[in-house]
Amino acid sequence: MKDKLFLDTNVVLDLLGEREPFYDAIAKIVSLSDKGKIQLTVSALTYSTIFYILSRFEDKEIVKEKIRKFKIVAQTSDLTDKIIDKGLASKFKDFEDALKYYSALKSGCSIIITRNGKDFKLADISVFSPDEYLSKYIIYK
């Protein structure tokens, strides 16, 4: 059974913004998805955040094309009333992180990939940085 990973917005920004020194690790993870070895999911919120941030530095049409290409290898989790209610009732310090966490659960993801692991310390599923996941993947796969 292949791993189902939920990508936090920060790692998608690393990928689409080609932010060094973080780009290589997340690009390898996306490559694993492209090869069908893992499944990636992101929150619907991620796309608006990515567009907002990247379009401040790049042409809007280029950013849209990057998002279109990324959507080929990643599924999008719906943001439902139930997820919002769970986020509002949660003990997460950051509401957006709570929404992403409950979206990950609803999507059946067993791993969250983020560079801010402390944001998900209340998570009941595994949380890895891209480098940590790749180390695990290489050792166990």
For residue 60, pLDDT beyond 60: yes
User: DSSP state, 17?
Assistant: T
Query: Taking the model in full, what pTM does it have?
Result: 0.93
Mean pLDDT along residues 9-13: 97
For residue 28, pLDDT beyond 80: yes
Confidence of residue 139 (pLDDT cuts 50, 70, 90): low
Could you give the domains of the chain?
A: 4-140 (3.40.50.1010)
Confidence of residue 1 (pLDDT cuts 50, 70, 90): confident
Mean pLDDT along residues 78-104: 96
DSSP 58-108: S-HHHHHHHHHHHHHHEEEE---HHHHHHHHHS--SSHHHHHHHHHHHHTT
Asked if 59 and 67 touch (Cβ cutoff 8 Å), the reply is no
Mean pLDDT along residues 96-122: 95
What percentage of the chain reaches a pLDDT higher than 90? 94
Q: Which two tokens stand for residue 38?
A: 């893992």
**Residue among 34, 50, 47, 42 at smallest CA distance from 5:** 42
